[in-house]
Chain A
Amino acid sequence: MKILSSTYQDTSIWRFFSSVRLAVFLLITLAITSIIGTVIPQGETLQFYLETFGPNFFRIIKALHLYDTYHSWWYLTLLGLFSINLIICTLRRLPFTLKLCRRDSLSLDSERLLKMPFKKDWETKKQLDNDSTQSIISAFKKVGGKFRERDGVDGGRLFLAERGKWSYWGVYALHGSILIIFIGALVGLFLGFKGSVMLPEGETIDYIVNRQTGKRISLGFSVRCNRFNIAFYDNGAPKEYRSDLTVLNDDKEVFHKSIVVNDPMKYKGITFYQASYRAIPEVTVQVSNSDNMQRSLTISAFQKTIWPEEQLSFSLIQYQPNVHGRPAAQIWIADNEGRAGNFWLLEGREREFKQSGNLYKMSLSTAKQRYLTGLQVKKDPGVWIVWLGCTVLIAGFSVVFWVPHRRLWLWIGRRKGRTFVILSGQTNKNKLQLEKDIKKIEEALNSNLGVGQ
């Protein structure tokens, strides 16, 4: 230990990184800088910040990544310093704790025991016989804890009842738990993903879109939304959003779950959450070409509908349920050479349009709502590590503050020609309990030693 502390442990940089002073400084700095991201909206477009905050402030926001404060280089640096502080501080304290744990509690002399703040002693002229010694010891043992005994360094016999020595490791668990949580977060960051998908009722999808990068992520299986449902309370407030999902593997249905907010579907480490929904209109139209060949087409806003014979594609730009008392739809149309146009269609009124030199007729027959369910999709293999860290944090914290290291000594021997019995105790927390323990043994000893009280 001597060698350790005089060589590299005492360099100033090592001392700096292991100081509680730095920890306090970092905690305060983190507290103050964390405010920034709650005041400035996060994750908006750069354009937004320029417009909201003006060019001067914008430059600061951009340089310091204040649009994503908690992932900015300087915030992560603070967290990194914090972790280093924690690790080095722990390493530096380790030898002291080990020394504390290895210290020999049975090498005390009776003089030391008599100087402890919690102590009680008895002296008798007569020698203690074996029976009363045994009953004194068994009364002492009743207090609990690890029991050891040895011949005293200054004669006599010393007994020790020790409890909670391990509690010195609580603070290591507590500090370690923070690192465990960080590790869990990193595992999730590098080995997991977060994405989302808008899935129309009745449709199947085998990929999702990464929320950060916008890239497609293949799921390795498919998910179908069978139905989406909203329920309302009598007062009109939403009561439940429910999506009925089926997982398919090579077109075989392998799993089924109806999910609501707070009750996601988990499949192969990937979790699907009910996050949002959208209702899109869908119209059915009748179209015919100049040869009077007729087709019925369903057109919606998020897909192209193709009329293969004519090589035309359609989509819905806008839907108005009430234009002069009737539904109306704005239809987008394109041919296979990319020429596109659009026009309005009013229910009950057939309309002609020209595309690629040909003349067509179209009329609107029905319009209805179709739901898309908005799913958050996530894979996070680190989440269990985070929960483990949280458990260790609470356990460690409880140990630090509520598990005392308590030692009780009993010394029986002869001093100055008399027989002495000394009872002393020490604890690093909960003095009240120690006093109670001592009181209990004291009473037992009083009756054993024939001291009337």
Chain B
Amino acid sequence: MTFSSSYLFGLTTFIYMGAAALYLIRWIFRVRKVGLLATFVTISGLVIQTVGIGLRWIESYQLGYGHAPLSNLYESLVFFSWITVLVYLIIEWQTRQRVIGAFTTPFASLSMAYASFSPNIEDKIQPLIPALKSNWLIAHVVTCFLGYASFAVACGLGIMYLFKNRYSGASGGLIGVMPDCKILDELIHQTIIFGFLWLSLGIITGAIWANDAWGTYWSWDPKETWSLITWFVYATALHARFVRGWTGRRIAYLSIIGFVSVLFTYFGVNFLLSGLHSYGSQ
């Protein structure tokens, strides 16, 4: 099968890498036309990836397994990059700030590259183990990853903020084309709010599922605990606005720390710690 989902995902990987490169070029060399091209390339990548995800879903039925492509690390990486690009495109559409693309599309292309090229990641469609056979699987994964993707974007914005804040004197150059610190701060806040809602829903759907599968909605398993830690970090970021002195810079740092915590929840727990979440461990 040449026209298979894995072929399309391979293609997506290169398209996203190209898009990230274009956004960087547009930012660094300030060629306006490249920006339009970057958006176009990103959108076509998203379309191809969407078809790929749909195809993989169909393929799993053809194999007789029949489940949504959200069941192992490979599939979750693909989904993560898909939803990150989607969230970014919405922000680009609303803010018309293509510079943000230079800081967010790399997350999506890294995720795809990791899924496609890492020898440790099984990309075959596998049957669902009994614990994953639940209607809550889709709800849980989609909500969690909407949160993760928003936090990836918030982290990109946070990095931009720190750059901008550090060289605030520079009115021209690379820093000058970035949005204002005030706008960045507001955007970070908005994406964190959006991500926080989805993370909360992700934790709740996970709890409902655990209650169905294991008989406890909360068992302090490392993955659960890390998602709670992440939740605490972003709750801190939301409240920090009310504490005097916790200005944009600290929120920017929190958006980065929060995303490190997200990454640890996502990967670290699987690779470094043991627990009930067999999901995504291979």
CB contact between A31 and one of B134, B232, B242 (< 8 Å): that residue: B232
* Residue numbers in A under 8 Å from B243 (CB-CB): 20-21, 24
Given A239-B127, A394-B201, A38 contacting B215 (CB threshold 8 A): no
Given A30-B232, A31-B233, A20 contacting B212 (CB threshold 8 A): no
Residue of B nearest to A35 (CB): B229
Given A30-B232, A390-B207, A398-B197, A24 contacting B130 (CB threshold 8 A): no
* Residue numbers in B under 8 Å from A27 (CB-CB): 232-233, 235-236, 239
The reply on A179 being an interface residue by CB < 8 A is: no
Q: Mark A368-396, 1 if CB is under 8 A from B, else 0.
A: 00000000111000010011001001100
Inter-subunit contact A241/B130 (CB<8 Å): yes
Inter-subunit contact B126/A383 (CB<8 Å): no
Identify which of A108-116, A137-145, A230-238, A435-443 touches chain B: A230-238
CB contact between A264 and one of B129, B215, B235 (< 8 Å): that residue: B215
CB distance from B211 to the nearest CB of A (A): 7
Residue of A nearest to B131 (CB): A261
CB distance from B259 to the nearest CB of A (A): 14
- Which of chain B's residues 216-232 have a Cβ closer than 8 Å to chain A? 216-218, 220, 222, 225-226, 228-229, 232
CB distance from B123 to the nearest CB of A (A): 15
CB contact between A390 and one of B204, B222, B225, B233 (< 8 Å): that residue: B204
- Which of chain B's residues 29-65 have a Cβ closer than 8 Å to chain A? 65
* Residue numbers in A under 8 Å from B240 (CB-CB): 24
CB distance from A84 to the nearest CB of B (A): 16
CB contact between B229 and one of A24, A34, A69, A376 (< 8 Å): that residue: A34
The reply on A271 being an interface residue by CB < 8 A is: yes
Name 30 interchain pairs, CB-CB below 8 A, sorted by A. A23-B239, A24-B236, A24-B243, A27-B239, A31-B229, A31-B261, A34-B228, A34-B229, A38-B225, A38-B226, A38-B269, A39-B273, A70-B220, A233-B65, A237-B129, A238-B130, A240-B130, A262-B212, A264-B212, A273-B215, A275-B215, A376-B214, A378-B216, A386-B207, A390-B204, A390-B207, A394-B197, A394-B200, A397-B200, A398-B197
The reply on A253 being an interface residue by CB < 8 A is: no
- Which of chain B's residues 231-272 have a Cβ closer than 8 Å to chain A? 232-233, 235-236, 239-240, 242-243, 246, 261, 269
- Which of chain A's residues 174-214 have a Cβ closer than 8 Å to chain B? 185, 194
Interface of B is mostly: helix
Residue of A nearest to B233 (CB): A31
* Residue numbers in A under 8 Å from B209 (CB-CB): 262
CB distance from A89 to the nearest CB of B (A): 10
**What interface size band does chain A fall in?**
35 or more
Residue of A nearest to B230 (CB): A31
CB distance from B109 to the nearest CB of A (A): 30
Inter-subunit contact B200/A393 (CB<8 Å): yes
Residue of B nearest to A389 (CB): B204
Inter-subunit contact B211/A383 (CB<8 Å): yes
Greatest chain A CB density within 10 A among B133, B196, B261, B274 is at B133
CB distance from B72 to the nearest CB of A (A): 12
- Which of chain B's residues 64-104 have a Cβ closer than 8 Å to chain A? 65
* Residue numbers in A under 8 Å from B21 (CB-CB): none
CB distance from A143 to the nearest CB of B (A): 24
Residue of A nearest to B254 (CB): A28
CB distance from B31 to the nearest CB of A (A): 31
The reply on B208 being an interface residue by CB < 8 A is: yes
The reply on A37 being an interface residue by CB < 8 A is: yes
- Which of chain A's residues 218-242 have a Cβ closer than 8 Å to chain B? 233, 235, 237-241
The reply on B193 being an interface residue by CB < 8 A is: yes
Residue of A nearest to B228 (CB): A34
The reply on B183 being an interface residue by CB < 8 A is: no
The reply on A42 being an interface residue by CB < 8 A is: yes
Greatest chain B CB density within 10 A among A239, A240, A262, A386 is at A262
Residue of A nearest to B136 (CB): A262
CB distance from B249 to the nearest CB of A (A): 15
Alpha-carbon gap, A394 to B236, bound state (A): 18
Given A24-B243, A38-B225, A38-B269, A239 contacting B130 (CB threshold 8 A): yes
- Which of chain B's residues 187-214 have a Cβ closer than 8 Å to chain A? 193, 196-197, 200-201, 204, 207-209, 211-214
Alpha-carbon gap, A394 to B239, bound state (A): 17
Alpha-carbon gap, A185 to B131, bound state (A): 24
Alpha-carbon gap, A397 to B204, bound state (A): 14
CB contact between B215 and one of A239, A378, A397 (< 8 Å): that residue: A378
CB distance from A299 to the nearest CB of B (A): 32
Residue of A nearest to B133 (CB): A262
The reply on A88 being an interface residue by CB < 8 A is: no
12 A-B pairs besides A20-B239, A235-B127 with CB distance below 8 A are A24-B236, A24-B246, A31-B232, A31-B233, A34-B229, A35-B229, A262-B213, A273-B213, A376-B214, A376-B215, A390-B204, A398-B197
Alpha-carbon gap, A130 to B273, bound state (A): 76
* Residue numbers in B under 8 Å from A30 (CB-CB): 232
- Which of chain A's residues 247-300 have a Cβ closer than 8 Å to chain B? 260-264, 271, 273-275
- Which of chain A's residues 68-123 have a Cβ closer than 8 Å to chain B? 69-70
The reply on A401 being an interface residue by CB < 8 A is: yes
Residue of B nearest to A263 (CB): B212
CB distance from A184 to the nearest CB of B (A): 9
Q: Mark B7-30, 1 if CB is under 8 A from A, else 0.
A: 000000000000000000000000
Inter-subunit contact B214/A273 (CB<8 Å): yes
Greatest chain B CB density within 10 A among A38, A263, A393, A397 is at A38
Alpha-carbon gap, A237 to B129, bound state (A): 7
CB distance from A311 to the nearest CB of B (A): 42
* Residue numbers in A under 8 Å from B217 (CB-CB): 383, 386
Alpha-carbon gap, A24 to B250, bound state (A): 13
* Residue numbers in B under 8 Å from A235 (CB-CB): 127
Inter-subunit contact A24/B214 (CB<8 Å): no
Inter-subunit contact A238/B129 (CB<8 Å): yes
Inter-subunit contact A260/B130 (CB<8 Å): yes
Inter-subunit contact A261/B225 (CB<8 Å): no
Inter-subunit contact A20/B242 (CB<8 Å): yes
Inter-subunit contact A397/B197 (CB<8 Å): yes
* Residue numbers in A under 8 Å from B261 (CB-CB): 31
Residue of A nearest to B257 (CB): A31
- Which of chain A's residues 1-36 have a Cβ closer than 8 Å to chain B? 20-21, 23-24, 27-28, 30-31, 34-35
CB distance from B53 to the nearest CB of A (A): 23
Given A21-B243, A70-B220, A390-B204, A262 contacting B130 (CB threshold 8 A): yes
